[in-house]
Amino acid sequence: EVQVAEHLGRLGVSRPLGLVREVFGKVDREFPFEKHMKPAPGAEGLLAAVKGAGGRTGIVTGDSAAATRRNLAALGWEAWVDVVVGTDTCPTPKPSPEPVLQALDLLGLPPERAVMFGDSPADLAAARGAGCPAIGVLTGLGRPEELLPLADALVPDLSAIRLSE
């Protein structure tokens, strides 16, 4: 949202962030995303493994928490995600560490006891700023050369992650 609003502002659009949020909100409410969703490879297995081991999970998204919860419900994954922090629940977006810190607080975890997976530089910068280990995932738009300086490790997708004792 913020990047689109900044671009519109440069083009002279008044109230760019308000306009973008209004449009994105309408799309979130009316577009049937659940019919077009493709979960990240390995996401289902990783969430199931973490929850099966007694862990807690959260999602920090550039989307709204409400839309993300709807998508989780459509996938049947709502029991696997304890916390969702989005643009409607945290006023400051990634790359600020604020949404990550909010998620950690809701999960009751200190940053060093968590791991954040992200596919964009903003994801990994937010994790770093929060003091959280960060794993870059090469399934999004982030290129390896952009992610590597911000990540503790890079993986091709989430199926490459294995839990250890």
Residues above pLDDT 70, as percent of the chain: 82
pLDDT value at residue 146: 96
Q: Is the pLDDT of residue 121 over 80?
A: yes
pLDDT value at residue 32: 63
What is the C-alpha separation between 20 and 147, in angstroms, rounded? 27
Q: How confident is the model at residue 136 (pLDDT cuts 50, 70, 90)?
A: very high
Higher pLDDT, 28 or 82: 82
DSSP secondary-structure letter at 9? Answer: H
Higher pLDDT, 31 or 136: 136
What's the per-residue H, E or C state across 71-106? HHHHHCCHHHCCEEECCCCCCCCCCCCHHHHHHHHH
Looking only at the bridges linking them, the beta strands covering 83-85 and 116-118 are: unpaired
For the chain, the average pLDDT equals 89
C-alpha 69: how far from chain center: 12
What is the C-alpha separation between 94 and 158, in angstroms, rounded? 21
Extents of the domains making up the chain: 1-31, 33-160
pLDDT value at residue 8: 60
Q: What is the mean pLDDT of residues 29-45?
A: 78
pLDDT value at residue 164: 82
> CATH assignment of 33-160?
3.40.50.1000
